[in-house]
Amino acid sequence: MIKLIQFPPALGLPNASGFCLKLETWLRMAGLPYENVYSMNLGRAPKGKMPYIVDDDGTTVADSGLIIEHLTRRHGVRLDSHLDASGRAQSLLLQRTLEEHAYWCVLYFRWADERFWPATRAAFFGGMRAPLKWFVPDLARKGMLQQVKSVGVGRHSPDEITEMGMRDIAAIATVLGDKPFLFGQPSTADASAYGMLANVVFVDLDLPFKSRIEREHPSIVRYCERMREVYWRG
Taking each helix axis from N to C terminus, what angle separates 158-176 and 103-112, rounded to the nearest 10 degrees? 140
pLDDT digits (tens, 9 = 90+) for 99-133: 999 999 999 999 999 999 999 999 999 888 999 99
Last residue of a domain, one of 26, 42, 75: 75
Radius of gyration of the chain (CA): 17
Q: Where in the sequence is the domain holding 31, given as residue range(s)?
A: 2-75
Q: Based on the fold, state whether residues 12 and 119 are members of the same structural domain.
A: no
Last residue of a domain, one of 34, 53, 75: 75
Q: Based on the fold, state whether residues 180 and 107 are members of the same structural domain.
A: yes
How many other C-beta atoms are found inside a 10 Å radius of the C-beta of residue 96?
13
- 60: helix, strand or coil: strand
- Name residue 2's beta-bridge partners: 34
Q: Based on the fold, state whether residues 123 and 149 are members of the same structural domain.
A: yes
- 233: helix, strand or coil: coil
Q: Based on the fold, state whether residues 43 and 110 are members of the same structural domain.
A: no
pLDDT digits (tens, 9 = 90+) for 186-204: 999 999 999 999 999 999 8
pLDDT of amino acid 234: 61
Q: Based on the fold, state whether residues 172 and 201 are members of the same structural domain.
A: yes
Please count the structural domains in the chain: 2
CATH number, position 186: 1.20.1050.10
- Decide if 80 is inside a domain: no
